Structure 1
Amino acid sequence: MSFKKLFFSFLIGGLVLALAACGSNDSSESNGNAGAEGETRVFKIAHVVQENHVWNVTAEKFGEELRKLSDGRFDIEIHPASTLGTEADMVQQLETGAIDFGFMTNAYMSTRQDSLNAWFMPYLFSSIEEAIALRESEPAKQMLEELNSQGLVGLDFMFAGNRHVLMTDGFAKSPADLKGKKIRIIGSPAMQSYWEKVGAGPTAMPLSEVYTSLQTGVIDGIDIDLDALVTEKYYEVAKYLTLTNQMTFPTVIVMSKQVYDSLSPEDQEMIRTALKNAVDWGVQEAIKREESNLQTLKDAGVEVLENIDTSAFQTVTDEVRNEFSEKSDIIKAFIEEAESNK
């Protein structure tokens, strides 16, 4: 064989090997994006609450479970307190896969999906335990399934406690006590309807503005769960807490459908298992915090009115439940199941 032929043989052989290597790399990258065996990945989680809030510690527990089940292949990176933007921003990032998981307030998500207003039906739960019991009900599962149409995979519900009323002046024993009062709420159709029917002036605003607004008298009170009340320190500027239990307050835990679909079925199931383990732990933590947070508030000098007679709110309760039952069969079924569990 001539030198020229030998040279071209080596050249062609080298090109074949190079192309094969590129093909192997492309295949490896493709499989990696699909959650191939051995892939390592850090998932981004975003939410609006502080790091010591029960939702955040549940997210941390999810990370522990995920690391354990994946033998360290998967980990998480938490972005708390709206550091990645508003919840509307977060949903957009979830849709594109820029964020992997969101612990979204049910309040915001109920503006995007009617059925989620079920959790905000007035006086449906007298305790957080009653709300948690509905977490795996058939209507709750249907709510999560509906999120697929938004480019999200609904995974679970986690709770911060029931909603109560903190006022700068006086208690909230009846609608008469709330008439004309400016009450900060999270923007949600059911919450808006309830507070309007009560006769208050519902005022939606982000958490970051609430402390100063209470302090300066821009608002007279807030609709709040005890964990947020303690972690955001609103008790420093408002001292009258009425344990109304008018609603519960879940986070809807969602995953980017784009990211979820890129994973192998085995990794998808691993994520679901890790999250369920974390939320099973988290709901028990939330129950413990209801008691400890209440004691923290009392120790801080907050005046607490417990066990009010809710019959004064019955007319409003019936009106709101009827209004939203007509909008969604899921809400109607959810109310019926909650009532049958009492």
Structure 2
Amino acid sequence: MHFKKLLYSFIMGILALALAACGRDESSTSGNNASAEGETRVFKIAHVVQENHVWNVTAQKFGEELRKLSDGRFDIEIHPASTLGTEADMVQQLETGAIDFGFMTNAYMSTRQDSLNAWFMPYLFGSLEEAVKMRESEPAKQMLEELSSQGLVGLDFMFAGNRHVLMKDGFAESPKDLKGKKIRIIGSPAMQSYWEKVGAGPTAMPLNEVYTSLQTGVIDGIDIDLDALVTEKYYEVAKYLTLTNQMTFPTVIVMSKAVYDSLTPEDQEIIRTAMKNAVDWGVQEAIRREESNLQALKDAGIEVLEEIDPSKFQTVTNEVRNEFSKKSDIIKAFIEEAEGGK
């Protein structure tokens, strides 16, 4: 009898230990899930523009949406005006996860991915509203998907406005007005090709060198959107603005794939929803700013030529579109859809 009691006690002890271990494992697993889903985190966002630029205020709006949708678990830390390095530096940091999000210029990203040159096809959009509509197009979505090969998650396109020409001396009504002129561009294969075919001398340089270069005559003019023109104050050193609308100017909003993949599906969805909400708001803000920025420039004493005849640039337009359509089926499809939507 005594032996049976000892055996019974021994068996019950073993069962108790097993149950306790299971409880610890279950508790541990449950705790890890709660930790992953309840994690608080501050995401780093980097870009090249000033704090009052529409891309930066859209990043701020993303922060608001992110805080709301995550119940305060997620927040952002914005690093504007290239404070974390050049765009090449930023992409490298995105690949490693040192930066979480980048609002990268489509110009720089088009040097890494051919299909993104689609946004720079000449005279494809007569207004920013027309460009914004193409954000939801199938070719635009394919461009974002292609970014995964670079360790990036393409989230959306946000816009600064259409591109125009600011000159120190005279307007840009036709290619002959630009022939031989040194025009600052932001480096991009499509932009380079366009300005070479126009007959100008395209000169790539970072934003922080443009003001002094205009002031001292190193360059004769710039290819620029109105928001950057106002926020960077280039109107102080050049007074002739031609509203050419020759291209639009998106930022490609990307996230580090390493960081994205580390999140739960639920948190990934929070990221995507917060960004879409922010960009939906941001594109409307960009459209509103097109008008207010133009008025601000007029108030600052800029001479503005508001309408030109795009047919004067038709030969160049056709050459550039044909050149880049051959490089990418996505570009060809993008042009066809944009033209069909007019």
Q: TM-score, normalised by structure 2?
A: 0.91
Query: Are positions 1:275 and 2:275 aligned together?
Result: yes
2:109 is aligned with 1:113: no
1:36, 1:160 → 2: CA distance? Answer: 36
Q: In the TM superposition, what is the alpha-carbon distance from 1:43 to its structure 2 partner?
A: 0.2
Tell me the amino acid that sits aligned with residue 93 of structure 1: Q
Q: What SS does the corresponding residue of 1:147 show, helix, strand or coil? A: helix
State the alpha-carbon separation in 2 of the partners of residues 107 and 36 from structure 1: 36
SS in 2 for 1:134: helix
Paired residue total:
320
1:145 maps to: 145
Please state if 1:207 is matched with 2:202. no
- Deviating runs (4+, > 2 A) in structure 1? none
- Secondary structure, in 3 states, of the residue corresponding to 1:222? strand
| 1:270-298 deviation digits (Å, cap 9, x = unpaired) | 10000000000000000000000000000
Q: CA RMSD in A?
A: 1.7
The CA deviation at 1:320 is 0.1
Find the residue that maps to 2:274 and give its secondary structure. Answer: helix
Instruction: State the alpha-carbon separation in 2 of the partners of residues 40 and 154 from structure 1.
Output: 23
Deviation (angstroms), 1:24: 4.9
Paired position in structure 2 for 1:304: 304
Q: Mapping of 1:166-177 within 5 angstroms?
A: 166-177=166-177
Counterpart secondary structure, 1:244? coil
- Which residue number in structure 1 is paired with residue 227 of structure 2? 227
* Alpha-carbon distance, 1:52 to partner: 0.1
TM-score, length basis structure 1: 0.91
What is the distance in 1 between the residues matched to 2:182 and 2:124? 24
Structure 1 counterpart SS, 2:250: strand
Residues 198-224 of structure 1 show CA distances to partners (whole Å, capped at 9, x for unaligned) of 000000000000000000000000000
Residue equivalent to 1:100 = 100
Shift of 1:245: 0.1
Q: Could you tell me how far apart the structure 2 residues matched to 1:204 and 1:319 are?
A: 21
Residue 36 (structure 1) shift = 1.3
Q: 1:222 and 1:307 mapped to 2: Cα distance? A: 18
- Identity rate, percent: 89
Matched residue SS, 2:213: helix
1:313 maps to which residue?
Answer: 313
Matched, 1:85 2:78: no
In structure 2, distance between residues paired with 1:320 and 1:48: 27
- Bigger radius of gyration, 1 or 2? 2
**Deviation of residue 310 (structure 1)?**
1.1
SS at match of 1:170: coil
Which amino acid in structure 2 is aligned with residue 245 of structure 1? N
Q: Using the alignment, how far apart are the partners of 1:235 and 1:173 within structure 2? A: 19
* Partner residue in 1 for 2:188: 188
Secondary structure of the structure 1 residue equivalent to 2:313: helix
1:135 partner SS: helix
SS in 2 for 1:153: strand
Residue 289 (structure 1) aligned with residue 324 (structure 2): no
In structure 1, what is the equivalent of residue 8 of structure 2?
A: none
Kindly provide the CA deviation profile for residues 38-92 of structure 1, in whole angstroms up to 9, marking residues without a partner as x: 1000000000000000000000000000000000000000000000000000000
CA distance in 2, matches of 1:172, 1:37: 55
1:178 aligns with 2:184: no
Q: Which residue of 2 aligns with 1:9?
A: none
Mapped partners of 1:232, 1:80: distance in 2 = 13
Work out the CA distance in 1 between the residues paired with 2:235 and 2:187: 22
SS for the counterpart of 2:324 is helix
Partner of 2:41: 41
C-alpha separation between the residues in 2 aligned to 1:167 and 1:307?
16
Distance 1:304 1:126 in 2: 17
